[in-house]
Structure formats: structure tokens, C-alpha cells
Amino acid sequence: MTSASNGAAIAVRAGVNVGTLYRYFPSKDALLGALVEREAGATLDAIDAALERTARQPIDDVIAALFEATLAPSRLDARVHRELVEQLSRSGRVDVLRDLEQKIGTRLERVIAERTGSDAAAVTAFVVLHAAEALVHAIRFLRPANVERGAATDAATAMIAGFLRRTNGTHSTGSLKTATAHCAGACETENSNRVDGVEVEPSRTCKPQKKN
């Protein structure tokens, strides 16, 4: 780890002396593990609050609230937070991240199923979760100086919300039934044909319905 997150620096930011810090955390890895657990818990609490707050709002507002929750300023020093993310495997608490992802994924799947009626909510939630995870990391740590955080967050929200709307049209059972019924009203069965003396199934062609 760099000097940004060594024992002395962390102790100063926590307002305690180094001896007290190591009394509770015998090693830097132990400290990292504790920080990972704390940040994971805070993230899940923020997400739950965002979902409760937007329970009756459009899906765009839900996604915007989730980005806001996950991009909220961390209680950690920015440099320490970045190193925490980059050295997650060293902390030995990758399981905490996986558990967090599973819990967020379950919540997303429920919201997507309720809001879109999609019959592929699980796969949609998986894609949204990991796409959003990458976007949050990029906005927080990789955003260039000429890209405003608010603008980047708005663009990310529009991208995810747009994907959900398109997915709803592709996978939703209701949408599929509607499309099938529409086609049924416009389809005509052609006369059966014989090919080389063999009867073949009548073909069905969909013709555009005429507008009144």
C-alpha cells in the first residue's frame, strides 16, 4: 500500500494514535477487511433507501436514485477509498463484495420484474448490475477533468434506463402477446401448394394493416 493508506495516515484521519489503531487491527489487511465490510453495509443501506424512496416513481427515477446512492461521497478519504477498491483481493474479503453484488442483484431483479413485466428479469438484472458497477467505478475514479460528474451520471442513467425500456419490449410476455395479436389480425393464409406432387403446409404472410 502507498503512504496514503499507511497506518499513521489512517490513524490521523481517524483521530487516534497508531498504537490504538493496531490494537483493534493487528495488520493493514485486517484494517482493509473492516473497511470493506463497513463500505459494503453503507452501500446496501443507501440502495435500500433509494429503492424505498422511488417505489412509485418511473424506472428512470429509480436508476438515477441508485446511481446517486452509489456515487454519494464516501466517508473515506478519496485516496484511501480508491486503494481499498484496487486492493480488495489483498483484504481477503472478496466474499463481502460478492455477497453485496448478490443482494443488489436480487433487489434489481425484483424491481425490473415489477416495473417492466419482463420474463427475463434475472438476466436483465445481471447485465444492469455489472454495467452500472463499471460505470460507477469509471465516474468515481476514471472521469477526465473535462467531464462533469453530473453529466456523466445523467448519461449513465439514460443508457441503463433506455436498455431497460428496450428489454421490456423484447422480453416482456405482455408485449409479445400484443405483437402476436397484432400480427394475427393482419395475417392471411395463402392457398396450399403442391411441390413435385407433394402437399406442403400453407404459408402465412403478414401484411401491414391499413390505417383508417
Percent of the chain residues past pLDDT 70, beyond the cut: 60
CA distance 206 to 212: 18
Give the chain's domains with CATH numbers: 3-171 (1.10.357.10)
Most confident of the ranges 19-23, 30-34, 137-141: 137-141
**Mean pLDDT for the stretch of residues 111-118:** 84
Query: What count of other Cβ atoms lies within 10 Å of the Cβ of residue 115?
Result: 15
Residue 53 clears pLDDT 90, i.e. is over it: yes
CA distance 86 to 70: 17
Q: What is the CA radius of gyration of the chain?
A: 26
At residue 16 the predicted structure's pLDDT band, cuts being 50, 70 and 90, is: low
At residue 73 the predicted structure's pLDDT band, cuts being 50, 70 and 90, is: low
